[in-house]
Amino acid sequence: MLIRRSLLNQTLLHNHLRRFATAALLEEPTPTFDPTQQLTYLDNLPRPDPKYDEIIHAIPRAISGKNISAKERKAGRVPSIVFEQEDGQHGGNKRLISVQTNQIKKLVNHMGQSFFLSRLFDLEVRPEFKSDELIEKVRVLPRKLHLHAGTDAVLNITFIRAPSSALLKVDVPLVFRGDDVSPGLKKGSYLNIIKRTVKFLCPADIIPPYIDVDLSELDVGQKIVMGDLNVHPALKLLKPKDEPVCKIAGARVSDQKKSK
């Protein structure tokens, strides 16, 4: 009985230590971030394209609801919300607004949905779109974009205020480069893209518009994991470092049959 109890205790201790070690590996230290210090984009990393610098125009909404939202869309406006989210998760200071459908549709079509959701914009709220009176001017990050499943029409948007002091969770899009010189792809293998965005906790002043993924040295069977991504040191990865982003996989079965 004593031997059996001793083995049980050893097993429980082993499982506890294994869980602790796994948690330690997954947990990353929060990046050092002093909100009084102005952070800037690094020269070797992507920065926002000035051609998308655009002021999003908005008017306030007094109430919300399905009927109100339907009327707003019929009038060429997108019912939206702007609020605080300085810890990247919890909201407050909510303001109901409506933005112009044509303006948002143009931005989303030109940039692509994931790039739109990682881009900072200036937002101006006025009593009417052509009014000279300014209620609020604030820098924002589009957080959520709800599209119609059948038509891709923009149904509503959630914006987050993005002052320099804010730390925001952002799904940053990945851009894959170097596929034309990748040794593995030249051998007839194919690129298996596992992730197209990666979530980071970002200081608002240096939210990357995208992250470059270099495939130029990747051979058959090799992969790129999240810890390999080159980003500003003040960004915190919110996923395990060893989670794969892409892999050079062997030739497809159909391609092997064709070669025979």
| Cβ count near 16 (within 10 Å) | 10
Examine the domain organization and report whether 152 and 174 are in the same domain. Answer: no
| Cβ count near 120 (within 10 Å) | 19
CATH of the domain at 258: 2.170.120.20
**pLDDT tens-place string over residues 47-82:** 999 999 999 999 999 888 888 899 999 999 999 999
**In terms of pLDDT, which residue wins out, 258 or 200?**
200
Examine the domain organization and report whether 131 and 102 are in the same domain. Answer: yes
Q: Contact, 245 vs 225, CB < 8 A? A: yes
Examine the domain organization and report whether 184 and 138 are in the same domain. Answer: no
DSSP letters along the chain, please?
A: -HHHHHHHHHHHHHHHHHHHHHHHHH--PPPP--TTS-----TTS----GGG--EEEEEE-S--SHHHHHHHHHTTEEEEEEEE-TTSS--EEEEEEEEEHHHHHHHHHHH-HHHHTT--EEEEE-SSTT-S--SEEEEEEEEEEEE-TTT--EEEEEEEE--TT-EEEEEEEEEEE-TTT-HHHHTT-EEEE--SEEEEEEEGGG--S-EEEE-TT--TT-EEEGGG----TT-EE-S-TT-EEEEEEPPPHHHHHHH-
| CA 95 centroid distance within chain | 23
150 domain residue, yes or no? yes
Mean of pLDDT values over 196-217: 96
Mean of pLDDT values over 179-207: 95
pLDDT at residue 139 is higher than 70: yes
What is the strand order of the sheet 236-237 is part of?
Answer: 211-214, 167-177, 197-203, 236-237
240 domain residue, yes or no? yes
Examine the domain organization and report whether 196 and 151 are in the same domain. Answer: no
**In terms of pLDDT, which residue wins out, 259 or 157?**
157
CA–CA separation, 222 and 186 (whole Å): 14
Q: How many domains does the chain have?
A: 2
- Residue at 81: amino acid letter: I
229 domain residue, yes or no? yes
CA-nearest of 196, 197, 146 to 171 is 197
**Domain containing residue 128:** 51-162
23 domain residue, yes or no? no
**pLDDT tens-place string over residues 84-123:** 865 545 567 789 999 999 999 999 999 999 999 999 999 9
CATH of the domain at 81: 2.40.240.10
